[in-house]
Amino acid sequence: MAVTKIHPIKKTLYLALDYIMNEDKTDGKILISSFGCNPKIAHLEFEQTKRECNSKAKILARHLIQAFAPGETTPEQAHQIGLELCERVLQGKYEYVLTTHIDKGHLHNHILFNNVSFETGKAYQSNKRSYHQIRTVSDDLCRENGLSVIDENYKKFKSRYSTNGKSYMEYTEFKRGNSWKNMLQLAIDKAVLKAKTYEEFLKTMEEFGYEIKIGKYLSFRHKDKRDKGRFTRAKASTLGEDYTKERIKERIEEPNKYQIYANKKRHYEKCFYKKPDTIVDMKNNEKVKSSKGYEIWAGKHNMKTMADALNEMRNYGVNSYNELDKKLQETASKRQDTLGKIKQIESSMKEIYSAIENKNTISKNQLIYDMYRKDKENKAFYEEYKPQIIAYEMAMKGIENSKHKLLSIQNLSDKYMLLEQEKATLMEKYSSQNSMLHSLQQAKKNTDLYLDNHLEK
């Protein structure tokens, strides 16, 4: 399994070259290769290429790192994989220096390549597409050499359900389905289902109360300031991969491909509970006693409030005061039942999440544990890979006690998503029952106070 990352070098290229060619890290400089340049003066040759091509690019080079799982490969094999990665990605158009570091618990390649191609004179375009190519080629090379690759299903699952970047308050609201980011996701989901074109989608989002800013990213801000009056960008790192401008367009154009969203039952828009008016206590209110005008106003206010309370009760099927207590008990019982179901689903989701993490840990450390199991007397190997061995054993213990041990990560991820949808439906139901209960409680309180104030004993 190899992990890759890439970043630009804008200054001090020679220092970066010195670092990656440190003989303490590269087995006495044996594990160093280059293409189109001399490693010792590569920084000068990179600059010469840039001058010859009349390039105005500010970036001097790109630094690509390819890191392998501990114990999974040899330094020689890792270096060869790095060479093949350079050949397939750079295609003989860029000078580069490749070194393989052996100084840490895991082998990793450092590739410094010229940002300007000596063949085309154009600068390397580093973006999501080019990085995806690097990632794909690296995974292909790992498969060809019998190495493991990162489980794509696990990556997608973590991308969708990771809590990284959320404040505690936002995470708590996310679990309840009330965070502004979560509500924006849900509004986008609903707008995508309604829209036949991208323009219709934007119009629908405006109808949902969102102000839209169009630039490099789509940005949304709700008129009720649930998002603290700030625009939220629709990009992968903020809302998730399914909410970028490009993916939204894909979901509109290919609805069958994203049918999973059609099954969502969410509370798409936050319903702010408007506290109803309350009856003025005519007997014990000093202002009523001291002001005739206020007393007249309070009387009219109470009549209107009582009429509203009666209408509220009728809306919920309550036609008499005697039916009110029964309806309150019934609603409270149903709300509690719904809450119990939500907790059961959350418990099941927690079990599935744990099973996915355990299966990923087992897969990631399988090779190391197999090597350890063959030679348990090798104390040096155990000390070097103790964290991975312990993590593997704990994950195996966890998965053996799980009822999900026979399911794959893909199956578990699908099951988790279905439970999430079921929970969202119940959350909406709970919200409705909670609103009904509060409304009926207030109606009863107003009725009792009205009768106490306006009916002579």
Please give the C-alpha separations between residue 30 and each of 67, 70, 121, 269, in angstroms, as whole numbers: 18, 21, 31, 62
**pLDDT for 287:** 85
Give the pLDDT score at 332: 92
pTM of structure: 0.52
Q: Which residues share a beta bridge with 63?
A: 7, 112
Residue 392 pLDDT > 70, yes or no? yes
**What are the tens digits of pLDDT across the range 393-434?**
999 999 998 899 899 999 999 999 889 888 878 887 888 888
pLDDT given at position 179: 61
pLDDT at 36: 94
pLDDT, tens digit (0-9, with 9 covering 90-100), for 224-262: 766 667 888 888 777 877 788 888 988 888 765 544 444
Q: Which of 91-95, 108-112, 377-381 has the lowest mean pLDDT?
A: 377-381
Q: What percent of the chain lies above the pLDDT cut of 90?
A: 35
How far is Cα 148 from Cα 2, in angstroms, rounded to an integer?
A: 8
- Percent over 70 (pLDDT), the chain: 88
Are 364 and 142 in contact by the 8 Å Cβ rule? The answer is no
Rounded to a whole number, what is the largest CA-CA distance in the chain? 105
User: CB under 8 Å to 432, separation ≥6 — which residues?
Assistant: none
User: What is the per-residue pLDDT across 284-302, written as a single tens digit (0 to 9) for each?
Assistant: 888 888 888 888 888 888 8
Spatial neighbors of 19 by CB under 8 A, at least 6 apart, are 110
Return mean pLDDT, the chain: 83
d(CA 226, CA 228): 5
Round to whole Å and give the CA distance between 240 and 189. 12
Summarised one tens digit per residue, pLDDT across range 344-388 is 999 999 999 999 999 988 887 887 788 888 888 888 888 877 888
The residue assigned the tokens 């009219």 is 300
What digits encode the pLDDT tens for the residues 168-211? Answer: 444 454 455 456 777 788 788 888 888 889 999 999 999 888 99
Q: What is the pLDDT of residue 264?
A: 44
